[in-house]
Amino acid sequence: MSIHSQTTATVGTIIRTNLTDILVDRYSLGTEVIIQNQFSLGLDIDYISRDVFVGSNHPWYLGADTHKQGFILEPQARYYIRETNSEGLYTSISGFFGYAQYSRFDEQSWGVSPPKWIASGFSLHLGHQLSIKRLIIDIYMGATWAKNQGMGIFYEDRALFPQPNGWRISSGLRCGLNIFKSMS
């Protein structure tokens, strides 16, 4: 007769942040809820807060240094390749919907309606999530399709990568906590 103990993890809700978002002045807080061993649903909410120059294609309405402020909602569904309680290799599909407004630093009038940023799209990713006790580390890579609505005569004067519309490579690193994980 042999005696052996077994430890099983009960997976709960994961609270996470996207560490790579900080590089582009976005601040993320998200959650992932395990539906079954191989399936989960998540939602990330990103707060955008950065300074950007907004240019103009019109000679009478000049661009200006501005502060861009808004949010992005990112719902997500994941399928873990093996039944591993939200660990290991996964594929995911996510959508995103973003909205932001621009405030001029010089507080002058735009002369026309202030520009607004509105974007939507979706991502397909392959990732690996690692759990160390309650700590979650998640690395992913894939492709994103984005569609930005035009800003009328205005445009963000920034690097062209990633391009605002169409397909692009996307990747990132998330870190989080499994807040309801229990060990038995």
Assess contact for 117 and 124: CB atoms under 8 A: no
pLDDT at 171: 94
Q: Give CA–CA dist 100/110, Å, rounded.
A: 16
Question: pTM to 2 decimals?
Answer: 0.84
pLDDT at 111: 87
> Angle 123-125-127 (CA atoms, 0-180°, nearest 5)?
150
For the chain, give every domain's residue range.
11-183
Q: Closest Cα partner for 65 from 108, 28, 31, 24?
A: 108
Give me the count of residues in the chain: 184
Question: Considering the chain, what percentage of its residues have pLDDT values greater than 70?
Answer: 89
CATH architecture of 11-183: Beta Barrel (2.40)
Q: Give CA–CA dist 64/103, Å, rounded.
A: 9
Q: Closest Cα partner for 87 from 20, 46, 32?
A: 32
pLDDT at 36: 82
| Greatest Cα pair distance in the chain | 89
Q: What is the dihedral of CA 124, 162, 98, 14, to 10 degrees?
A: 50
pLDDT at 11: 60
pLDDT at 130: 93
Each of the 184 residues of the chain gets a pLDDT tens digit; together they read 434 333 334 567 899 999 998 888 889 999 999 888 789 999 999 999 999 999 999 989 888 999 999 999 999 999 999 877 778 999 999 999 999 999 999 988 888 888 999 999 999 999 999 989 889 999 999 999 999 988 889 998 877 666 778 999 999 999 999 887 655 4
